[in-house]
Amino acid sequence: MQIKNLESYLDARTFKTYIRAQDHCSQLCADTQRCVEEYLKEHRLNHANICLVAVGSVGRQEALEASDLDIIPVLSSKTTTVDFERHDRALRERISNDLGIKVSEGKDLTRFVDIARLTDPDTIGGDEDDSQALTKRILILLESTQVGGGYPIRKVREKILEAYAESERTRGRHVLSLCNDLARYFRTLCIEYKAKVDVQSKDWCTRNLKLRHTRKIWYFSCMLSVVSLAQEYTGGEARYFEGLLENFSLPPILRIAKVTGDSQKMAVSRLLKHYAYFLEFMSQEKHRSALSKVDHDQRYDAEIQNPFPGMKFNSDLMHHDMMQIIEGLNLHIRRRVFDWFLL
């Protein structure tokens, strides 16, 4: 499924927003890949051992002009990791300078990782499975696109899914374990948002609205993918996993449209319209600046320079749209949403 398939769902302005995001991401990914390949060639690094993964808005294929580029290098072996380590910072700086874009520094969540550590089944749910390990695993599996290197991202995703099947803790119930990790990641974002706002005085308003819009629709799309495919592929695990891999490679908005089909076209159309409004809003630096200045205690003040009430209302509309979609699902699929993600 492609963005162009959504034209019949959407009004002209909303459709234009998503096409613009798709074109921007496609060009940014192509430019990044060219830059990466040039660097790898100049420094004689074997590109077949490297998968440079973009996550965040670029990984979701919904980035517009104000977005940064968050990248996680995934290496095929520990030996490759040792060779790559001294190049990580220089490669990021090269991309940033050549493309004129802010690139993640490679600390913590976007630090390079070797495939063995990323997909070690014994770490899932274990003592070493902290929020950082969980975040990398989930983001690479569910909101990523490849922007360099020859080690295929499809192979990385396959190995992550296989890790759930092979873990002693998750064997025999690995689909539910994946559901638990999805819910755990989403709740971790909510908890960390609160901590960062309360303790570190971060930009609470921007984080709040991203949680209400971006993270919520992403989580919603993941839930629908997992439960609907279980209903569709009842004949075997291999076909189900193949369907998951296909859906996980899609942007959240396409997952939702693909899963619901024509049965809930109006509700999906409203959801995507409200989300496009948020993407357009966040693409303008003046709006981001206004959000950063909103005082938490005065967030509902009816002031012209306060964008929070209007954007919160937009997120409330999205929530209503998502609830309508859930209520309109096939009974068996709807029950799985509750069974696998709530109870």
> Cα(76)–Cα(49) distance, rounded to whole angstroms?
5
> Cα(281)–Cα(278) distance, rounded to whole angstroms?
5
Q: What pLDDT sits at residue 172?
A: 44
Best CA proximity match to 215, nearest among 191, 197, 189: 189
Answering whether pTM is above 0.85, one says: yes
Q: What pLDDT sits at residue 169?
A: 46
**pLDDT of the chain along its 343 residues, tens only?**
788 889 988 999 999 999 999 999 999 999 999 999 999 999 999 989 999 999 999 999 999 987 899 999 999 988 888 889 899 999 999 999 999 999 999 988 899 999 988 888 777 777 777 778 889 999 999 999 999 999 999 999 999 988 887 655 444 456 788 898 999 999 888 887 776 666 655 688 999 999 999 999 999 999 999 998 887 776 667 888 888 999 999 999 999 999 998 889 999 999 999 999 999 999 999 999 999 999 888 999 988 899 999 999 999 999 999 999 999 998 988 999 999 988 7
Which amino acid makes up residue 27? Q
Which residues, 6+ apart, have CB-to-CB distance to 165 below 8 Å? 171, 174
Best CA proximity match to 139, nearest among 171, 186, 92, 93: 186
Structural domains in the chain, sorted by start? 1-171 (3.30.460), 174-343 (no CATH)
Query: Greatest CA span in the chain, whole angstroms?
Result: 58
Which residues, 6+ apart, have CB-to-CB distance to 51 below 8 Å? 73, 74, 75, 76, 146, 148, 149, 150, 151, 152, 153, 155, 156
Q: Please report where in the chains the tokens 């954007």 appear, as a residue.
A: 311
Q: What pLDDT sits at residue 51?
A: 96
Q: What pLDDT sits at residue 174?
A: 62
